[in-house]
Structure 1
């Protein structure tokens, strides 16, 4: 059996609040296999988005160990974490996080250029075509609908063919029709590239499309 792509051992996250320390995650131990799709569910404030951020190295665990693709994320500084994410992960957020002064094509191509891809714009064009937005490549985010903006964000996340896809409520800002279309697209891209998918959602129907569903409550695995 191959090594897990994610391995968390007694991972915890404590943040300082106005009233003192707040325990966000409490002793999470979890493994995710390569190519697996995992849905993280739970009530608001249960820690599911924080767990995703810890798995992506966007938030440093304050206790325990977090390994991704054999790399100890808790031992890396911010620069090393940024490089690891750039080379191994694609991340999709509820808020699209597109750069408003760049076209759809430039939004997808810029991270590829920063990663040293000589054919960044060709890869970006292909990625936009895959999500059905080839004709909108020259449009700015303000000229795109919410569903189209999320498609651009998906193209940006998947263009480098990452081994890991992390999605935090990717349909949270969309109506049901656009939300369903984005989820179909996300799973299609996951299948096409063979990536491992970890998905945070409030929608049980979306979670049930994953290979495994993990529920959190009060910062613990339920």
Structure 2
């Protein structure tokens, strides 16, 4: 099977709070294999989103180790980490994080332009067509529905062909119909690009589509 694509060894996350340090994650040991789809579930405040942020190098572990594609994320400087993320990871959030002054096409092209791709706009257009937005290329986020904005965010995450897709409650701000459509697209992108998918969700029907479910309770993986 080879080395896991994600490996956490006793990973901890402690953040400063008004009343002193707050333990968010308390020694998480977990591996994710290439091509696997893992659902992170658990009550609010259990540390699911924080764990996803550690996996994506968006938060730094304050103890233990986080490795992605064999690289120790904790040993990288901020610039190296940003480059690594850009080349290997796509992240989809509950709130869409689109740039309001850019069209759908420009938003999706951003990661490719940052990477110096010459065909950024052609690839961005193809990805938007793949998520059903071929007629919305020149629309700005404010001109699109929530479901359409999340499709743009999905296209932006998928267009660099990342090895790892991370999704944090990607249907949390959407109604049932749009949420189901976004999930179908997310799993479709995973299949099309052969990506490993880790997603945080409260939705049982979504968790049921994953290869494996990891449950968090109070900052620890629950047996």
- TM-score, length-scaled by structure 1: 0.99
Q: CA deviation at 1:79?
A: 1.2
Q: Which sections of structure 2, spanning at least 5 residues, go unmatched?
A: none
SS at match of 2:44: coil
1:140-187 deviation per Cα after TM superposition (whole angstroms, max 9, x unaligned): 000000000000000000011110000000000000110000000000
Structural RMSD (CA): 0.5
Residue aligned with 1:138, SS: coil
Structure 1 gaps of 5+ residues are none
Shift of 1:65: 0.5
State the distance in 2 between where 1:173 and 1:82 align.
27
Q: Secondary structure at the match of 1:167?
A: strand
Matches of 1:103 and 1:191 in 2, distance apart?
Answer: 27
Quote the residue 2:70 is aligned against: 70
Q: How does 1:133-148 map to 2 (within 5 A)?
A: 133-148=133-148
Give the C-alpha shift of residue 189 in structure 1: 0.5
Q: Which residue number corresponds to residue 25 of structure 1?
A: 25
Q: Which residue of 1 aligns with 2:91?
A: 91
Greater CA drift, 129-138 or 75-84? 75-84
Question: Following TM superposition, where does structure 1 have runs of at least 4 consecutive aligned residues deviating by more than 4 angstroms?
Answer: none
Q: Secondary structure at the match of 2:135?
A: helix
Q: Who is 2:220 aligned against?
A: 220
Q: Provide, for residues 102-146 of structure 1, a one-character-per-residue CA deviation record: whole Å limited to 9, x for no partner.
A: 000000012111111100000000000000001000000000000
Count of matched residue pairs: 222
Once the two structures are superposed, residues 27-58 of structure 1 have per-residue CA deviations (whole angstroms, 9 ceiling, x without a partner) of 10000000000000000000000000000000
Q: Distance in 1 between matches of 2:211 and 2:37?
A: 5
Secondary structure of 1:151 counterpart = helix
- How far residue 80 of structure 1 moved from its aligned partner, in angstroms, is 1.1
**Separation in 1, partners of 2:54, 2:195:** 19
